[in-house]
Amino acid sequence: MRPIAVTGALGQLGSELCRQIGADAVGLDLPHFNLTARRSVLDRLGEIRPRAVINTAAYTGVDQAQREPDRCRAINAGGVAHLADACRRIDAVLVQISTDYVFGGDAARRSPYRETDPPAPQGVYAATKLEGERSAAACRRHFVVRTCGLYGHPGPRSPGNFVETMLRLARERDHLRVVDDQLCTPSYVVHVAAAVRFLLSTDRYGTYHVVNTGETTWYRFAEAIFQIAGIRIALEPVTTAQYGLPAPRPAYSVLDTAKYHSLPGSLPMPPWRDALRKYLDARQDLGPANE
């Protein structure tokens, strides 16, 4: 059987996918695999001839993207176009991992976004991820999987995640300010990876929202992290404006997963608090990340 290629294999979602897929996985990442080099992408995937390519590689520096939009676009849009081209040539399925940030233009919204809702990206990162979705659609057999706030045991090239950042900052400070006016659903990579694998077992191509269940703010998520971990620290809720980040963020980007769950045999996505507890328990077993 032809293998499954996972790009961004050294990141937290890519490494988790490789772990779950096992011997059938071929992990691809820098420096030996560069999404922005079209000829290299076509040649390498032509050699491997995978039955599917799962693209977890991305430029994820939301604020930095405002300063270097060309580089962000080359990876998040141009790189996906190269993958779609390669997948068409070798008759492979393309799975493009995308983000809740393609929404967020409606600050007053308080109902989860469906796949059919019109995107309204804010900022360079969000816009280029939407461009990447459209590039992926050039491949006839494709999935676009939108998810949110991923966390898990960091891979070798992972920049970290919100959970690890909070735990690190709690060791360095006795007071933290956390944004409390952005509603979303942080999601555990173990659950997202399993859902991606399930989708690949079907031929129900298209766009899907895959996140844990429920919604929270980053402040309430931080509260849960410290409560479950047994850490005492002073937390101060602040607004996005008070925090003063360079790039805009969605005020509301909760995703509706009804389409994914309508598929026969789809795997459950546990509530976000249960998923967080599962990660923190696993983290203790594996040893603290990035320490």
Positions marked active-site: 125
Q: What torsion do the CA atoms of 185, 11, 95, 193 make, to the nearest 10 degrees?
A: -60
Q: Give CA–CA dist 281/148, Å, rounded.
A: 21
115: which 2 tokens?
Answer: 């796949």
180, 69, 169: which is closest to 126 by C-alpha? Answer: 69
Query: Which residue bears the tokens 């509530």?
Result: 271
One-letter-per-residue 3-state SS of the chain: CCCEEEECCCCHHHHHHHHHHHHHEEEECCCCCCCCCHHHHHHHHHHHCCCEEEECCCCCCCCHHHCCHHHHHHHHHHHHHHHHHHHHHHCCEEEEEEEHHHCCCCCCCCCCECCCCCCCCCHHHHHHHHHHHHHHCCCCCEEEEEECCEECCCCCCCCCCHHHHHHHHHHHCCEEEEECCCEECCEEHHHHHHHHHHHHCCCCCEEEECCCECCEEHHHHHHHHHHHHCCCCEEEEECHHHHCCCCCCCCECCECCHHHHCCCCCCCCCEHHHHHHHHHHHHHHHCCCCC
